[in-house]
Amino acid sequence: MEPAAIEQKDESAPAIRAGGVPVAFAIMLALIAAAPFVTYPLFVMQVLCFALFACAFNLLIGYVGLLSFGHALYFGWASYVCAHTAKVWGLPPELAILTGAAFACGCGIVAGSLAIRRQGIYFAMITLALAQMMYFFALQAKFTGGEDGIQGVPRGKMFGVLDLGNELVMYYVTAAIFLTGFLLIYRIIHSPFGEVLKAIRENEARAISLGYKTDRYKLMAFVLSATLAGVAGATKAIVLQQASLTDVNWPMSGEVVLIALLGGLGTLFGPVLGALIILAMQYKLSSFGEWVLVAQGAIFVLCVLLFRRGIVGEIANFFRIRL
C-alpha cells in the first residue's frame, strides 16, 4: 500500500517534548543532596519516606487506575514489623526494613487477590475494610504496644558499617532508599509491563481481548505498590525510631491520596512535591493543632476544583513535557 494523504490529521495540540524527566530528576537530586544543610534533616527524611509512600500509591492509582483506600495497612504494618524486629529481635536496620517490606508484600498478595476482583468504589471499599481489620489487630496485639506503639527503636549500623545514629548518615541512607524506590518505579512504568498497566487503565476490556490476563497484571502492580509502601513505612520506623497507630489508621490512607492528588496523579514527580507540601504545611501549621486538617481539606477541594491534574500535572501540561 502506498502512503496516502490522510484525512483529518490532528495537529491542534503540540507534541510532548522530551527532556522533562532528566531535568526534573537532576533538580530533585541536587535538592536532596543539599537539603540537610539548609533545613532539618529529620524533616526531609520524613518527606522522603512519605514521598516514597505516595510514589508507591501513585503506581497503582496513576498507572493502573486502581484507587486503594487502604494503603496505610502496608505502610503502618511494615513500620511495626520493622520496629519490632529491630528492637526485640535485634535485627540490623537493613534486615529489619526488608522484613517489614516482605510483610507488606505478603499483605499485598492477600489483599490484592481479594480486591482486584472488583473495580471502582467496591475495590476502594475492600481495601479500606481490610486495612481497618488490620488496624484493629494492631490496636489489640501485644507486640504493637497498643496505643503507645513501639518506642525507642534502635537505628543500629547498616551493613555493620554505616552508623545510622549519625543524623547525616541516616539522611543519606534514607535518600538512597527513596531514590532506589523512585528509580524502580520509573523503570516499571517505562517497561513493557508498565505499558500493559497503562493499557489496562485506559481500556481494560481491550487489553483482555488482545490476550492479556489483566487480573495478573493488576495483582502484580498491587503487590509492587504495597511492597514499596512497606519499604517507606519500615524506613520511617528506623528514621523516627518508633512505630505508631497513626501510620496504620485510615486517615493515613486518606493522606496519601491527598499527597498524590495534590502533586499530580500519574506523574513521576507529583507525589514527591505533594509530600513536601503536605508535610511542610503540617510542620509550619503545627501550632494551629487540628486546624491543619481543615487546611488540608480546603487544599483537597481547591485541587479538585481548580487544577485536577495536580501541581506537577499542570506544569507538565503547560510546558508540554512529561514529568
Partner 1 sequence: MLDRVSGALLEISDLQAWYGESHILHGATLHVNEGEVVTLLGRNGAGKTTTLKSIMGIVGKRTGSVKFEGRELIRLSSDAIARAGIAFCPEERGIFASLDVEENLMLPPQVRTGGLSREQIFDLFPNLRERLKSQGTKLSGGEQQMLAIGRILRTGARLLLLDEPTEGLAPVIIQQIGNTIRKLKEQGFTILLVEQNFRFASTVADRYYIMEHGKVIDEFANSELNQNLEKLHEYLGV
| Interface positions with partner 1 (CB under 8 A) | 1-11, 13, 15-16, 192, 195-196, 198-199, 201-203, 205-206, 208-214
Would you say 16 or 29 has its CB closer to partner 1?
16
Buried/exposed 96-134: b ≥16 CB within 10 Å, e otherwise: bbbbbbebbbbbbbebbeebbeeeeeebbebbbebbbeb
> Cβ 197 to partner 1, closest distance in Å?
10
Would you say 200 or 232 has its CB closer to partner 1?
200
> If you write DSSP's letter for every residue of 125-164 in order, what string do you get?
HHHHHHHHHHHHHHHH-TTTTGGG-B------EETTTEET
Q: Which of 62, 10, 20, 66 is nearest to 317 (CA)?
A: 20
Instruction: Report yes or no: 253 and 260 within 8 Å, Cβ to Cβ.
Output: no
> Cβ 15 to partner 1, closest distance in Å?
7
Would you say 138 or 207 has its CB closer to partner 1?
207
> Cβ 207 to partner 1, closest distance in Å?
8
| DSSP type of residue 17 | B
Kindly state the cell numbers that stand for 58.
501513585
CA–CA dist 83, 89 (Å, integer): 10
Would you say 157 or 198 has its CB closer to partner 1?
198
> Cβ 186 to partner 1, closest distance in Å?
16
Would you say 11 or 290 has its CB closer to partner 1?
11
> Cβ 57 to partner 1, closest distance in Å?
19
Would you say 8 or 140 has its CB closer to partner 1?
8
> Cβ 292 to partner 1, closest distance in Å?
35
Provide CB contacts within 8 A for 312, sequence distance 6+: 263, 264, 267, 269, 270, 273, 323
> If you write DSSP's letter for every residue of 221-289 in order, what string do you get?
HHHHHHHHHHHHHHHHHHHHT-B-GGGGSHHHHHHHHHHHHHH-TT-SSHHHHHHHHHHHHHHHTGGGT
> Cβ 18 to partner 1, closest distance in Å?
9
Would you say 231 or 315 has its CB closer to partner 1?
315
Strand, coil or helix: what is 194?
helix
CA–CA dist 259, 190 (Å, integer): 23
